Amino acid sequence: MIRTATPADIPVIHALVRELAEYEKALEEARATPEQLHEALFGPRPAAYAHIAVDDTTGEPAGFALWFLNFSTWRGVHGIYLEDLYVRPEARGTGHGKALLTELARICVERGYQRLEWSVLNWNRPSIDFYESLGARAQDEWTVYRLTDGALQSLGSSR
């Protein structure tokens, strides 16, 4: 079962973000606090949205998807950028990941969005194989760039 996250889900979303960061071998980079997640998802100007996958047998959260809107100047419409998709190891292979992606694709179709995009680490072959089995294709002619920390501060402070 997939459901829209509520404010009561913030502790589990925070825990799942940290589990994902640990899986991706980058736990030290996961600095978001529960308060920040609450503000981003449920504050006066939400910047992101989340869905929770719930195990049908136990009723416990099995995974989540956290996403936000992007915009294509070429297509002239919004799309969804999937920031995080994570299913707990013990729940993998039971359809939760596919159900989360299906829900986001349904939202795209319903709202007229024309893209559902995300990034995956190059070493994460199980996820790559899963995404390709759904019809997703790598956009390998593009390279992602990022400014953070000191480089962002330096550029943002220059005139």
Helix (H) or strand (E) holding 65: strand 61-72
Concatenating the DSSP letter of every residue in 78-116 gives EEEEEEEEEE-GGGTTSSHHHHHHHHHHHHHHHHT---E
Can you tell me the distance from the alpha carbon of 95 to that of 62, in angstroms, rounded to the nearest whole number?
10
Catalytic residue, chosen from 23, 81, 131, 145, is 131
User: What would you report as the CA-atom Rg of the chain, rounded to the nearest whole angstrom?
Assistant: 16
Side-chain-side CA neighbours of residue 94 (13 Å): 16
- Is 86 designated active site? no
Closest CA to 3 of 81, 61, 72: 61
Catalytic sites, residue numbers: 131
